[in-house]
Amino acid sequence: MTPLLQVRGAGHRYGLRHGCRDVDLDLWPGEVLAVVGESGSGKSTLLGTLSQRLGPSEGSIRYRMADGRVIDLGEESEAAVRRLWRSEWGFVHQDPADGLRMHVSAGGNVGEPLMANGWRHYGRIREAAAGWLERVEIPADRIDDHPTTFSGGMRQRLQIARNLVVSPRLVFMDEPTSGLDVSVQARLLDLIRGLVFDLGLAVVVVTHDLAVARLVSHRTLVMKDGRVVESGLTDRVLDDPHAAYTQLLVSSVLQG
Amino acid sequence: MSARQAVYNIGYLDEQTKRMIRRALLKAVAIPGFQVPFASREVPMPRGWGTGGVQVTAAVIGEDDVLKVIDQGADDTTNAVSIRSFFASVARVATTTRTDEATIIQTRHRIPETPLSEGQVLVYQVPIPEPLRFLEPRETETRRLHALEEYGLMFVKLYEDIARFGHIAKTYDYPVLVGGRYLMSPSPIPSFDNPKMHRNPALQLFGAGREKRIYAVPPFTSVESLGFEDFPFEPQRFDEPCALCGSTGGYLDEVITDDAGGSMFVCSDTDHCERTATRSGTESATGTEAIA
Amino acid sequence: MYVAVKGGERAIANAHALLAEQGRGHPELPAIDPAQVEGQLGVLVSRVMTEGSLYDPALAARAVLQAQGDVLEAVTLMRSYRTTLPRFGYTCAVDTAGLAPQRRISATFKDLPGGQQLGATFDYTHRLFSTPSSGADVPDRHDGSPDADDPAMPRVADLLGVGALIEPDARPGQDAAEPGDLTREPSVFPMSRAERLQALARSDEGFLLGLAYSSQRGFGTTHPFAGEVRVGEVEVEFDAPELGFAVPLGRIEVTECQMVNQFTGSAETPAQFTRGYGLAFGRSERKAMSMSIVDRALRGAEFDERVASPVQDEEFVISHGDNVAATGFVEHLKLPHYVDFQAELMLVRKLNAEFEEAHA
């Protein structure tokens, strides 16, 4: 058995400067990995590198596909990567406007990935969309409304539904809760945790908020200046941090 | 100073240009529905008035050809007249208004009612060749979507129509999938005409001069109008016959006859109307005198 | 009784006769000779040549007359004639440093080798109507001013370039290949800078002016300085392969503008000035200046600049700058669209009926 994602020496450069470098990690099916760090630590660059949203990168990133084949993402064509995007991966942006079509109805937003995957029965597309809206707690009568009329929390839940409707195996999340009010955050995290558990998703979630890591992730990776300074089981990392930087990070949260 | 003569080549376009366009056409025929970029030339009519169709016609026309030009289905609309007389003067070819006699038919917005046959060429004037343009304005992005065959976006538009109106609300320039691969704009023909494109024995060529693209549907190629299994494509239908020739099953134009809401429906295809009327001894849409 | 609209042919002939009549003006007044247009409306002729992409003042003057003063019609005439002309080859790059300017100004240096030379310009004229005259009275020129030809008049950009304070004319490897020809080969986005400059040279003066203005007002900030504007005649040479040396074909009048913009530098490049370039036929100062601002704005990607405004967007600028395309497509709305309108009419009726039914 090989991991879903096997990363060795991964890095990405902006000109001469490294956004992130020398990252090793394994991600197993059903596992949630949190990447934490301050802004500028390279965690979003790492997410972009893993998900192939950024250009050429260093190191190797191997992915085990649904059919069992293991591919090196850096060597795949754009078409192959886009196919993964359509059928096996999801990406939840911090700002829902980046991941939704704001002037397409909620149903259309959730239905689009299905249509992109060849669904051609309107009734079934709509049924699937309605089912997902219910799962993310968006009232059924809002199915034909545009996300522009939704609250921030609803938009984020809609973005999650749009990502999960194709039953992806791997979902990348970039600060999925940080644009929201604290009360809304808690509810959304709860929802994410439930969905991830029910669907057995593998997730890489980037967050600056240790509470998010604590609540949803199995393992945590701490980044600083583009490098991984510590990684391990989330409870171990947060309760018994080894690296000086992690200790500082954890204590600052406790004091704050 | 005596005025110099400005001299133009036979068929207007220079021979190098004709060869360049023919190469683009060959590529277009080889990849049905794919938009081939070409170095579109200026022609002596304004952009948007059929400059793509004129270049395609100029590149394929020969001295044995018989040319028919229609605009809105009619041979005698001013733009059709203008383009026909242009070719009559610069290419010295025979012209006709009869669909069955023409070897090349240049058209804007219609496909003739008379079925086309093998050996005929239908040249469409195309304003916006990119079917995804109004969903995604960027050429670099739409090119990628075609390359990767990512057409989900087009179906979103159809989905939204059904969610809102209960049916697809696109009546012309209705998107088609050619040869099971490329999404294509049929040019702004009414959806009524779409079924005629499917497995048509004639060669269908499309020229977009302003947008610098050429594409083609070779004879007997599948042209599928998009739809859902439970909301399939439905071309528009007319309930009444043509008020002039009495024929049914053709596309009709509504003509306002008075200022009290009175109107009548007549054939948009004037050649079809005229010949149906001749056969049945009635008056046709072209058989009457001008008010222009 | 309904009467079908027929007889397009006669309608067209009549319309053309009417147009000719209107263009002739009062029949007792003399018709304008193209030579008069060429001589007295030189700025207009310049614009028609530039956007028509054909240097031929006599033909441009005829186009202006035939188009009854409609610039875009005249440009269309020029272009659709130009495109049929056989292509023998491409001339050598013109040497604008060697042109003897009749006008040369720099806003960046008070004085510079070769000096400032005001030349023929509307600048500093008072825009007051002058008394109508027979046209024969041209004021005298006072000779002895710096108008006298100065052989050494290096380009300002080259002066700065000596100290590496400004980017070189071309970076190593940038467009090293022969530039493509926009009018002969299909162009696709993204374009090379050479192709972009070709497109900008043909672009509508008003469109480029508006874009350049927008960038000065903050929609894609470029902070330009007019490094140099020069107007004069350059020699055009053709490198005939069978001869092995360049043969002069003649002289053409051009306006050249180099805008100088500050660039704060990046990890790889020290801070230096960057350039935008504009070149137009004849006396076309506004066009050359606007073009150079837009050229620089479109180079955002080269300098890792944030691309957020229309003027920085290559597809937006290049796709919409061609006035022959723009005017044709806007005006094509005059053509009949009744087939499509009929289709829409039926749809709206259907939607209305469904609405009434639902609300009955």
Q: Give per-residue pLDDT as tens, A70-90.
A: 999 989 988 899 889 888 999
**What b-and-e string marks burial along A123-160, b requiring 16 or more CB atoms within 10 Å of the CB?**
eebbebbbebbebbebeeebbeebbeebeebbbbbbbb
ipTM here: 0.88
Residue pairs between chains A and B whose CB atoms are closer than 8 Å: 59
- Residues of chain C by 3-state class (helix, strand, coil), percent to 5: 40, 15, 45
Distance from CA of B155 to the nearest CA of A (A): 7
**Out of A121-130, C260-269, C272-281, least confident range:** C260-269
Q: Give per-residue pLDDT as tens, B2-41.
A: 556 777 777 788 888 999 999 999 999 999 999 999 999 9
**Out of B75-79, C26-30, C300-304, least confident range:** C300-304
Q: List the structure tokens of B79.
A: 């733009």
User: To which residue do tokens 């109307």 refer?
Assistant: B273
User: To which residue do tokens 């001008």 refer?
Assistant: B290
Give the pLDDT confidence score for residue B1 in this predicted structure: 46
**pTM given for the model:** 0.85
Q: Give per-residue pLDDT as tens, B30-81.
A: 999 999 999 999 888 888 889 999 999 999 998 899 999 999 999 988 889 9
- Mean per-residue pLDDT, A215-238: 94
**Out of A189-193, B234-238, C111-115, least confident range:** C111-115
Question: C170 pLDDT band (50/70/90 cuts)?
Answer: low
- C12 and B82 within 8 Å at the Cβ level: the answer is yes
Of B144, B164, B231, the CB nearest to A122: B231
Which residues are CB-contacts of B108 (< 8 A; sequence separation ≥ 6)?
B50, B53, B70, B71, B72, B79, B80, B124, B125, B187, C335
Q: Mutate one of B136, B145, B158, B160 to test the A interface: name it (highest A CB count within 10 A).
A: B160
Q: Which helix (H) or strand (E) holds A32?
A: strand A32-36
- C268 and A16 within 8 Å at the Cβ level: the answer is yes
Give contacts of B127 with chain C, Cβ < 8 Å.
329, 332
CA atoms of A58 and A74, how far apart (whole Å) = 9
Q: Give per-residue pLDDT as tens, A104-152.
A: 999 999 999 999 999 999 999 999 999 999 999 999 999 999 999 999 9
Q: By CA distance, what is A18's nearest residue in C?
A: C267
Give the pLDDT confidence score for residue A149 in this predicted structure: 95
Give contacts of B147 with chain A, Cβ < 8 Å.
79
Q: Give per-residue pLDDT as tens, C140-155.
A: 877 655 544 555 677 7
Give the pLDDT confidence score for residue C176 in this predicted structure: 57
CA-based nearest residue to B283, from B243, B241, B248: B243
- C266 and A17 within 8 Å at the Cβ level: the answer is no
- C332 and B46 within 8 Å at the Cβ level: the answer is yes
* pLDDT above 50: residue A45: yes
Give the pLDDT confidence score for residue C171 in this predicted structure: 63
Give contacts of A122 with chain B, Cβ < 8 Å.
159, 162, 228-231
Q: By CA distance, what is B70's nearest residue in C?
A: C336
User: To which residue do tokens 């209305």 refer?
Assistant: C352
**CA atoms within 13 Å, Cβ hemisphere of B93:** 27
- 3-class DSSP state for residue B121? strand
Active site residues of B: 33, 242, 245, 267, 273
Give the A window 5-64 contacts with C, CB below 8 Å. Answer: 15-17
Q: By CA distance, what is A78's nearest residue in B?
A: B148
Indicate the Cα dihedral angle A28, A32, A33, A34, nearest 10°. 180
Which neighbouring-strand residues pair with C261? C224, C274
Q: By CA distance, what is C189's nearest residue in B?
A: B140
Q: Give per-residue pLDDT as tens, B211-268.
A: 999 999 999 999 999 999 999 999 988 988 999 999 999 999 988 888 888 889 999 9
**Given CB atoms, is B152 within the 8 Å cutoff of chain A?**
yes
CA atoms of C61 and C34, how far apart (whole Å) = 5
Q: List the structure tokens of B239.
A: 């309930």
The answer to whether A208 touches A175, Cβ cutoff 8 Å, is: yes
Residue pairs between chains B and C whose CB atoms are closer than 8 Å: 193
**Given CB atoms, is A107 within the 8 Å cutoff of chain B?**
yes
Give the pLDDT confidence score for residue B204 in this predicted structure: 98
Q: By CA distance, what is A120's nearest residue in B?
A: B228
- 3-class DSSP state for residue A58? strand
- B13 and C84 within 8 Å at the Cβ level: the answer is yes
Looking at every residue in chain B, the average pLDDT score rounds to 91
CA atoms of A111 and A202, how far apart (whole Å) = 22
Q: Which long-range contacts (CB under 8 A, 24 or more apart) does B9-13 make?
A: B9/C84, B10/B90, B10/B91, B10/B92, B11/B58, B11/B61, B11/B90, B11/B91, B12/B43, B12/B44, B12/B58, B12/B86, B12/B90, B12/B91, B12/C84, B13/B41, B13/B43, B13/B55, B13/B58, B13/B59, B13/C84
Q: Give per-residue pLDDT as tens, B141-163.
A: 999 999 999 999 999 999 999 99
Give contacts of B152 with chain A, Cβ < 8 Å.
86, 112-113, 115-117
CA atoms of C287 and C278, how far apart (whole Å) = 8
Give contacts of C266 with chain A, Cβ < 8 Å.
15
